[in-house]
Every structure is written in structure tokens, then in C-alpha cells.
Amino acid sequence: MINGLTKTIFIVEDEPDIRETLAYNLSQEGFKVEEFSDAESCLEKINKKAPDLLILDLMLPGMSGLDLCKEIRANKSLSNLAIIMLTAKGEEIDRIIGFELGADDYVTKPFSVRELILRVKVILKKQTESLESVEEVEFGAIKINLGAHEVSINDDEINLTALEFKLLKHLVQRRGRVQTRDQLLGDVWGYSSEVTTRTVDTHIKRLREKLGSVGDYIQTIRGVGYRLNNQG
């Protein structure tokens, strides 16, 4: 967890020993982890439900780590996805290319698992603080003033309850990424024992109604949860 939020990490590594060791240790630290042995399957999952951070091997079968990084950075809805590059290569040119494509950090094999986990925590903490420090957030026709707790649609203010505001803020800050009902329960409600997934659905329905013409920004991902997207 980072600042009380459960973070999801995807690992793309074709060497099973490395991948499984990282997954185990990150899980022990409280992260939700998913493993991939190739870039293509990871990209497919990212397009459905993006993680908070991606640990990405440079040399992969098929699509390379650099190509996957390029694909991710070309998608504006994935701008908040942090990327740590892994590689057996130590040449400076690889690090330069990786950073130019948008990697947040670069680790050369062999590496200390403890050090990598520390880097993960630092990046995610900065990411969370950066999101929370922004006073005003815009997404399509929606404008949110985080300090004043005000929301407007096409400059017309709408009235939300404190919980509705928190729910919308959470979705906007993770725009383009699917949020499961369990994630929403944990991050917005704090896993209250009295809250059920039906409560999440009810609040989403009310929020959509209050958002009016842009209520369909909140997309239902059947069997999973919700995603904020203004591209239909």
C-alpha cells in the first residue's frame, strides 16, 4: 500500500525465476501483482485494466520492452502509468533510449530485489503525491477543483455529496484505467464492513445521473468494475 491505497503492479519478464521472485516479494509488501512473459499479452491486459506501475524487461520474445513502452506512452489515458525498465544490458545507450521513451527508472540485471522494491515505493509515492497535489483537474467537460471540492460540467457547477465527490475524484485521477468494485470499496469507502458491491453500483448510478450529459464517461466493464473514458 502507498498512502493507504492498494497499488497494482504488472511484471513483464520472460525469465520465470526473476518474474516469480519479484512477484512474490512485491506481494509480500502488499502490492497486487500480475505476471506476463511477453509484451503482447501485457498490452492486451493494460488496454482493459491498467496497473499503477509496470516492471518491464527490455529483451522479450516478440514485441520488445522498448516497443511496449512506446505504445503505452502514445496513449494519453495511460500518462500516469509508471514504468521501470529491466535489462541485462548495461550500455548507456539503452538507458538513454528507455528514458527518452518515457521510462521512469532503469535497473540493470543482476539487481537487488530489496533495492528494486524501494525504487517501486519511491516512484509510486511520488506519483500519488503528484496526483493529490494538483488543485484542479479537467477531463473532457468535467472540471474538478480539489481544494474547494467543486465540480462543474461545461462551467455549470453541480452539487455532489462528499462521497460522490471522492468517487468522481478517484475515477478522474485514474482515468482510462478500470477500477474494480473491490478497489473502489478499499480506496473510496475504506473497506467498510457495511458496504457491499451493490452500494458501489448505486453510487455510480447516482453519480452518472448528476453528471447528466457526460454521465456516460463512466463506463461499466461487465463483470469487473468501472472506467472513466470520454472516447466512447
Cα Rg of the chain, angstroms: 19
Residues 117 and 181 placed together within one structural domain of the fold: no
What's the CATH number where 171 sits? 1.10.10.10
Residues 13 and 126 placed together within one structural domain of the fold: yes
User: Based on the structure, what is the number of domains in the chain?
Assistant: 2
Residue range of the domain that includes 160: 135-228
Residues 70 and 176 placed together within one structural domain of the fold: no
224 domain-assigned: yes
123 domain-assigned: yes
What's the CATH number where 42 sits? 3.40.50.2300
Specify whether the CB–CB gap between 6 and 27 falls below 8 A: no
Residues 152 and 55 placed together within one structural domain of the fold: no
Residues 12 and 127 placed together within one structural domain of the fold: yes
Residues 127 and 15 placed together within one structural domain of the fold: yes
Is the peptide bond preceding residue 51 cis, with omega within 30 degrees of 0?
no
1 domain-assigned: no
- The pLDDT score that the predictor gives to residue 105 is 87
Residues 67 and 32 placed together within one structural domain of the fold: yes
Tens of pLDDT, residue by residue, the chain (232 residues): 555 568 999 999 999 999 999 999 999 999 999 999 999 999 999 988 889 999 999 889 999 999 999 999 888 778 778 899 998 766 666 767 777 787 888 888 889 999 999 999 988 887 777 666 667 888 888 988 877 778 999 889 998 887 888 899 899 888 888 898 888 888 887 765 555 667 888 899 999 999 998 999 999 998 889 999 876 5
Residues 156 and 207 placed together within one structural domain of the fold: yes
- The pLDDT score that the predictor gives to residue 120 is 93
152 domain-assigned: yes
160 domain-assigned: yes
Residues 139 and 106 placed together within one structural domain of the fold: no
Domain boundary among 114, 132, 150: 132
Domain boundary among 76, 97, 132: 132
Residues 12 and 88 placed together within one structural domain of the fold: yes
- The pLDDT score that the predictor gives to residue 53 is 95
Specify whether the CB–CB gap between 172 and 207 falls below 8 A: no
- The pLDDT score that the predictor gives to residue 123 is 87
- The torsion defined by the Cα of 109, 114, 118 and 124, in degrees rounded to 10, comes to 80
Residues 120 and 154 placed together within one structural domain of the fold: no
Residues 145 and 162 placed together within one structural domain of the fold: yes
Domain boundary among 102, 132, 162: 132
3 domain-assigned: no
**Those residues with Cβ within 8 angstroms of residue 165's Cβ, 6 or more apart along the chain or in another chain:** 149, 151
2 domain-assigned: no
- The pLDDT score that the predictor gives to residue 126 is 79
87 domain-assigned: yes
What does the alpha-carbon distance between residue 55 and residue 168 come to, in Å, rounded to a whole number? Answer: 28
